[in-house]
Structure 1
Amino acid sequence: MANYTLEKKDRFNVLGLGTELLSDYTDSAGIAREKSEFWSAVAQDGRLDTLKAISTNDYIFAVNEAVNNKMMHYAGVITDESVPQESRVIEFPAGDYLVVRGEGSTAEELSHALTYAAFAEALPEVKDFIYVGGPNATVEMEQRDGRVVGEMWIPVVPA
């Protein structure tokens, strides 16, 4: 059973640096590999540090969004600033969100655990709300006792 709540959130934007995921949407191993390679690249080439430097808080967002019939994945932060690299402002609507909490030994492990808990456990349990698309995000919030702690935020609407 997933550790989740339903919460109201104000509208917010995330500035993201992204990549198109080319694996079939049913190929979870391929998608995981592409995401891992993307995060390694943005960490190694300094783009993630550039984002962190302009963030309004310590949260790091891993955003999934369908854009123009493409599966997109972004590394992002909340900020009012911009970066010299190609980026996208990802708009999250005000409203109800399914929020799943968790932790992992790495950010990648956290993301995998939260994604599974949210989509395979929590969403099927929630009877009064449904996910109808739009961006969703894993939010890396803090490091505690050598663990990465965070949440997954999925916008939902009344069923």
Structure 2
Amino acid sequence: MGNYTLEQKESFTVLGMGTDLKSHYTDYAGINKEKLDFWHAVQEDGRLDALKAVAKNDYIFAVNEAVNHKMMHYAGVLTDETLPDATRVIQFPKGDYLVIQGEAETADALSNTLTGIAFGQILPEAKDFAYVGGPNATVEMGTRNGSVYGEMWIPVVKK
């Protein structure tokens, strides 16, 4: 099982610009391609720069959330501000979070690695806590030695 911690977090808000993922939830290759295409688009068309301009810090959030029976994926930042192009204000609840740290060559690789560890290893084997839904996020925190580092934050409840 990967290295992780359980941390108590205060509630926080992420302002996001998102996309509706069309691939079946078990089609990991399809989902990953949709996410990669989405991130390429928000970087190219300036939406990510607009989000960064209102951010409280340098963290970039890749948020996954089920909304109205749709799988949504957002690029987001911590902020109390809004933007006309923003598609969602995402509320993360106060409580316990599964936190997994990692490092990879790209932000996309970091997200895929941490998601795989979280949902493929840690959560299926967890005996003391469970993910019961709600938004989860990969948080890109910066770069060092040519790699992107960050964490995955998943709200959990104690069993």
For the aligned pair, the TM-score class normalised by the smaller chain equals over 0.9
The aligned residue for residue 59 of structure 1 is 59
**1:40 maps onto 2:40 in alignment:** yes
CA contact (8 A) 1:105 1:147 kept: yes
Pairwise CA RMSD: 0.8
| Aligned-partner Cα distance in 2 for 1:7–1:82 | 28
Deviation at 1:122, TM superposition (A): 1.4
Deviation at 1:158, TM superposition (A): 1.2
Structure 2 unmatched runs, 5+: none
When the two structures are superposed, what TM-score results if normalisation uses the length of structure 2? 0.98
2:156 alignment partner, SS class: strand
The aligned residue for residue 145 of structure 1 is 145
Deviation at 1:153, TM superposition (A): 0.4
Structure 1 unmatched runs, 5+: none
The aligned residue for residue 7 of structure 1 is 7
Deviations 1:100-136 (CA, angstroms, capped at 9, x unpaired): 1101000000000000011111112321110000000
Deviation at 1:142, TM superposition (A): 1.1
Deviation at 1:80, TM superposition (A): 1.1
Deviation at 1:87, TM superposition (A): 2.0
The aligned residue for residue 134 of structure 1 is 134
Deviations 1:31-53 (CA, angstroms, capped at 9, x unpaired): 00000000000000000011011
CA contact (8 A) 1:63 1:136 kept: yes
Q: How many residues are aligned here?
A: 159
CA contact (8 A) 1:18 1:75 kept: yes
CA contact (8 A) 2:63 2:73 kept: yes
Counterpart residue identity of residue 17, structure 1 = M
Counterpart residue identity of residue 157, structure 1 = V
1:37 alignment partner, SS class: helix
CA contact (8 A) 1:3 1:102 kept: no
| Aligned-partner Cα distance in 2 for 1:155–1:86 | 23
| Aligned-partner Cα distance in 2 for 1:65–1:19 | 11
Identity of aligned residues (%): 67
The aligned residue for residue 72 of structure 2 is 72
1:99 alignment partner, SS class: strand
